[in-house]
Each structure stands twice: as C-alpha cells, then as structure tokens.
Amino acid sequence: MGGLAVLAKEAGHTVTGCDANVYPPMSTQLEAQGITLTQGFGAEQIALEPDLYVVGNVVSRGNPLMEEILNRGLPYVSGPQWMGDHILRHKWVLAVAGTHGKTTTSAMLAWILEYAGYAPGFLIGGVPLNFGISARLQGNHASDFFVIEADEYDTAFFDKRSKFVHYHAKTAILNNLEYDHADIFPDVGAIETQFHHLVRTVPGVGRLIVNGQNESLQRVLQRGCWSEKEFFGNGQEWRIVLKDSEDFDVFFNDECQGTVQWQLNGEHNRQNALAAIAAARHVGVKPEIAIEALAQFVNVKRRMEVRGVENGITVIDDFAHHPTAVATTVAGLRRKVGNARILAVLEPRSNTMKLGTMKQALPGSLAEADLVFGFGAHEGKDALGWDLAETLAPLGNKLATFSVIPELVESIVRQARPGDYVLIMSNGGFGGVHQKLLDALKARAQAEVAAA
C-alpha cells in the first residue's frame, strides 16, 4: 500500500495515508515522497474529505475509520483493484507470483528492463537497492512496461480473491507454490485454485514462466492453460549449471546464453534470476543483455542485507519467515561463509507462523546454524499461539529462546565472537533489534579496549 501511494502521487493525486504501525524502509520512503501519514485509524480522519478511499487488506470490519466510511456511504475501492483499473490497464504487465522469491525476482526483472532501456514502472514489496524506491510509474521516459509483485494474499475484507487477479498480466512468472497464509487458506488446494484464477487472466498472446519442478504448479496448469508456457529449473528448457563460485551458466534449449557473475548467493536466487531472464525475453530483452544486467544487480533491502560489522561480527537482516525461506537463507549463507559460525536469530511473526501451522518444520530449517536465538512475544498481537522453546527443542543446546528484546541482545553479544555472522530473520520491524545489537557489540568492543 505504501508503494501504491507513491504511484498515486506520481500520477498527480494528492495522497495521504494511515496505518497502525509503519516502520522503515516504508515509513522513510513515504516521508521522502512527501506523503502525509497519520498513525491509527481514527474516524475523525473523515475530515480530510478525500475523493476516494483506497483500502488495504489489513483493514477489517470494526476498524473505526472503515466503519465511518461505510456508515456515510463514502466511495472506497481495494488497493489492487485501483491499481489494475488506473495504472495497469493499458500496460504490458509482467507479474511475479509465488510463495517465495516474489520481491527479489520482481526487483531483478525490473532492473533487467531498466538496464535494457525499457524504463519500466514497477511496484515491489520491498526496496530494490538498484532503484532506492519500491514503486514508480515509469522511468526516464514513457514506458509501456510495468513489473509488479503479484501476491496471492486476499484483496480486501470485501473481496476475498487473491490480489493478482486484478493485475491484467501479459507475462506471468509462477515461481513456486506451497502452503502458506494459513489465516485465509485452509489447504494448498485453495491456493492452487487462486493461482489458476491468475492463469485464466493471462491472454493467449501472453506467456507463463513456470517452475517446472513444482508439483502444485503442475496441478494448476492441468486445470487449463490458454497461454504460451516456458519452464525453468533442473531438467527444464531454462536451466543453470553452477560454477565453482556463486556464478552460473544459463542454458535455454541446451544452448548456453552466457554466465551470470554476481554477488548473490543461494540456489533460490539462481532460480529467481533464471525466471527473470526468461520473462524479460518475452518482451524482447536478449538473454545475454539480461545476464549483463544481473552482474550489476544489488539485492532488495532486508534480503541478506548487511546492516553492519562490529569487531569482526557481521549482522545481516533478512525477511525470511516461512520455514522453506529460512532453510534456503541459512543454506545460502552457509555456502558463502564456509565454516564460519552462523548465529541465527528468528522471530516467527507472520500470521501463518503465529498460528503454528508449519512450526514442526522450523527445527530442520535451522539445522545448519551453529547457534539459534528464538524470539516470541508472550503478550499482545504478536504473541505466538504455541510454545517456541518446545517446538525448537530438537535443536538441543544450541538453542535459546527469549520474549524480551534486551535479554535477546545481551545473550547474542555475550556469545558472539569475531568472524561470526548474525543472521536476523523476521518479516517485521523486530523492535529495531538490528541496530540495538550493533550498538551493543560496539559498546562491548569499546569496553574491552578501555579495560586493556
């Protein structure tokens, strides 16, 4: 919704917004764009007298402002529908869908098009560091192309379809599909149905770029497909051959298209890149140009983002929260750092995690870490509905769990030593723990110098 606000302002509208709890990087981006933000959902905001209320899916019945809008019969629309009707209707939309990797893949694809001179518009659920913003209407000239992160989460309290059915995609990446969002989907079959709704909206002249190794996506396509298809993954028409480093060769129909030389790590990022290269080809970007672009790609904020180094201890921020994402993130870092110690810090904060739907997979996803610090608030809206220490008990004596951030920081500082990597994983602000940890590590180092 923050990115959508930026697009609306760029399109010439006066934009204000409200939310209960906004944190960086979105809060700082909105401030930089001159968008006024009101904390909370007070009914008195009616006094602003806007022409239209654009409603995000965090808003539910009982919300004071929404109730006032309904009582007065004021005009409102969901964010995705407004986006589809006013921004995307006449664009060539490249939509990136999937349980994992949407943000990173969207950022890669937008950067490839930018590098190739297409000057695309984009709306991404994070801040791609190549651009420094999460959304823009177009680049340095008018563009027919728009890259959008296509989320399967529901649209609004009054529209329970997935957001992506509103986006009019002509090129659609189906990156992967597994069970998530347990608060709105009863099982993976329900998510597959929504993905097939997306497939039904892609025109015959459109193209699907599909993970050929994902069984759920195979079932989606078996329900019907009316567009061109290309598959990526091991043994597919688009595939990779890994080099000794994180670099890899890209093959299409068994012909090498070139070598991606970059700074990212992990198999998930290689597959994300492969999907982005394939999607860019649909709009005319040659694979060799896409490969050149990826050599200059800088990842999204909060995706393996190094927040700082103190006394040889590297603090990394990552958005991972689903067990699969946690496992691939830890594995990618392990490949990069070799035998160096990884101190994994996890806050299970998503709705799916708080419900405990996939909690049993968490110990296995953290197995490659040397020490694990789990955080679960015991009170309030972020409280877990299950026992974190009990669930992570298979990790044995390398596990410690906390419910208060100062105690968490103190424990990490006490055990961290030069050469360690502290990997912090959460899909929320995590109480600013990243900077608090860096400050505490710096204070410890200064104290040790003074004592010496």
Each residue's pLDDT tens digit, 351-363: 667 767 778 889 9
Would strands 248-252 and 255-260 be described as parallel, antiparallel, or unpaired? antiparallel
Q: Which of 82, 26, 27, 84 is nearest to 55 (CA)?
A: 82
Q: How far is CA 409 from the centre of its chain?
A: 25
Q: How far is CA 125 from the centre of its chain?
A: 6
pLDDT reported for residue 380: 62
CA distance 439 to 423: 16
Question: Rounded to 5 degrees, what angle do the CA atoms 339, 427, 1 make?
Answer: 145
**Chain segment 420-448, per-residue pLDDT in tens:** 999 999 988 888 899 999 999 999 888 88
What is the model's pTM? 0.81
Paired tokens of 273: 């890149």
Strand order from edge to edge, sheet including 399-402:
305-310, 313-318, 421-425, 342-346, 371-375, 399-402
CA distance 353 to 212: 27
Question: Domains along the chain?
Answer: 2-77 (3.40.50.720), 80-294 (3.40.1190.10), 305-451 (3.90.190.20)
pLDDT reported for residue 308: 94
Q: Any idea of the CA torsion for 336, 125, 220, 223, to the nearest 10 degrees?
A: -160
CA distance 95 to 109: 10
pLDDT reported for residue 420: 96
pLDDT reported for residue 206: 98
CA distance 45 to 49: 8
Which parts of the chain have pLDDT scores under 50?
Answer: none
φ, ψ for residue 66, nearest 5 deg: -65, -40
φ, ψ for residue 208, nearest 5 deg: -100, 130
Residue in the structure block whose two tokens are 């480093």: 245
Residue in the structure block whose two tokens are 């929504």: 194
pLDDT reported for residue 353: 73
- For residue 25, is the peptide bond before it cis, meaning its omega torsion is within 30 degrees of 0? yes
**Chain segment 344-353, per-residue pLDDT in tens:** 999 987 766 7
pLDDT reported for residue 88: 96
CA distance 29 to 17: 13
Residue 6, helix vs strand vs coil: helix
Paired tokens of 20: 């209960």
Paired strand residues for 19:
39
Paired tokens of 47: 């006094």
pLDDT reported for residue 387: 87
Helices (H), 11-101: 26-32, 64-72, 79-83
pLDDT reported for residue 194: 95
pLDDT reported for residue 69: 98
**Chain segment 84-129, per-residue pLDDT in tens:** 999 999 999 999 999 988 999 999 999 999 999 999 999 998 889 8
**Chain segment 14-31, per-residue pLDDT in tens:** 999 999 877 676 778 788
pLDDT reported for residue 382: 62
CA distance 225 to 208: 9
Q: Where would I find the beta strands (DSSP E) of 36-118?
A: 36-39, 53-55, 76-78, 92-97
